[in-house]
Structure 1
């Protein structure tokens, strides 16, 4: 009830600031226009249905409400789970619970400051100037589709940035080992590109932009697994 109430209040606050938040998300589009050398271009987004921008603001409010209310939601989940854990389990699990939102924000920051401007720059490069022999083709994004692109990339990168947390937890409980992760590195590289093709729009910039950090995070996961995994002797003693 506390989590739902906190989300509802955060939703109302986010809905009140929905338009400034949307303008904040449009900033990568502005950077892409500058990178493309279109300084005189007016930044314009459209909506083609009367209710489209209203529902776009609702989506922004839901996303912003969840982000604002996440500390309260996580605290309530922790209060529910913690009494069922041993003291050493609580001390081991809590740092990962705190690291998870930090890594998600790192992924979102990468999208906002690098990936999204590069993606929009790529789409702007597809425009066609009007001449006597060809028609003019200009990019006029819809507000709903632009927001959908932003949220898709943010969720994709935020999810991938949880890889070190997930593998470190599995290594701590003995489900995976650093050597096992090393042996499967070539399969992980292939899966990184497959996942990037599924989770991102069908353009090479966003797909490569997600695959390369995924491979880097996999290497970090191997390093973290090596740090936290128990030596074989300790594992055999614990099993005994």
Structure 2
């Protein structure tokens, strides 16, 4: 009995040591990614701000401003941290998988392993869709309220702030990245037998309402961003149902 208890303690101790080591590995990799990102922060900033610069190209001074003394510095830090998080996220997923995988059955490994690649791919797809399709339309819509070049007595002039612009872009990026995980969740639930394509079709109306509600909550309060997120997610939902039917047939 004592020997068994000691073995259990040793087993738990080994797991805790392994967990600690993997957390340290990730932390070191994250720090390296942060400093690496900060070295190229101006290039990253140029990439992130390219859409707004193009949208305000009609202005003589198409620029972004900062009104606080340290605002630009902290904006660069924020951008570097977010970039480091994106760079190190695949390494984090690998560390989690390496820690959990030994305790899984082969059948469970086969189910989970494809999602290790599917999750980041869908997140990146969400960001690409946002950056190249939604943001240009949304920014053009917002900048249309700028009347600084008109001859009216009352004029509105847009001067985007660095911190506010980065925060808005990051919120949208995470919103679209998370929303594009819907197919991943549907595939997993279908494979596990928790839901079926028939159930998904029956609940379509409710899902569409929920998608619009969630889009309104996680995006800025403008109709362009909300529709820009909701419509592709609805399309993805329909595609997911179609692909789920294929998985269900293959499973049978």
TM-score, normalised to structure 1, is 0.89
Match of 1:207 among 226, 230, 234: 226
Task: State yes or no: 1:29 paired with 2:52.
Answer: yes
CA distance in 2, matches of 1:49, 1:164: 42
1:132/1:122 CA distance change after superposition, 3 Å: closer
Task: State yes or no: 1:220 paired with 2:216.
Answer: no
Q: What is the RMSD computed on CA atoms of the aligned residues?
A: 1.9
Deviation at 1:84, TM superposition (A): 1.6
Aligned residue in 2 for 1:8: 31
Aligned residue in 1 for 2:15: none
Match of 1:177 among 188, 196, 203: 196
Q: Is the 8 A contact 2:53 2:63 kept in 1?
A: no
Q: Is the 8 A contact 1:130 1:137 kept in 2?
A: no
1:231/1:105 CA distance change after superposition, 3 Å: closer
Q: Is the 8 A contact 1:156 1:200 kept in 2?
A: yes
Task: State yes or no: 1:104 paired with 2:123.
Answer: yes
Aligned length: 229
Classify the secondary structure of the residue corresponding to 2:56.
Answer: helix
Q: Which has the larger radius of gyration?
A: 2
Classify the secondary structure of the residue corresponding to 1:9.
Answer: helix
Aligned residue in 2 for 1:82: 101
TM-score, normalised to structure 2, is 0.85
Q: Which runs of 5+ in 1 are unaligned?
A: 235-240
Deviations 1:134-173 (A, max 9, x none): 2321111110110011101110110011100111101111
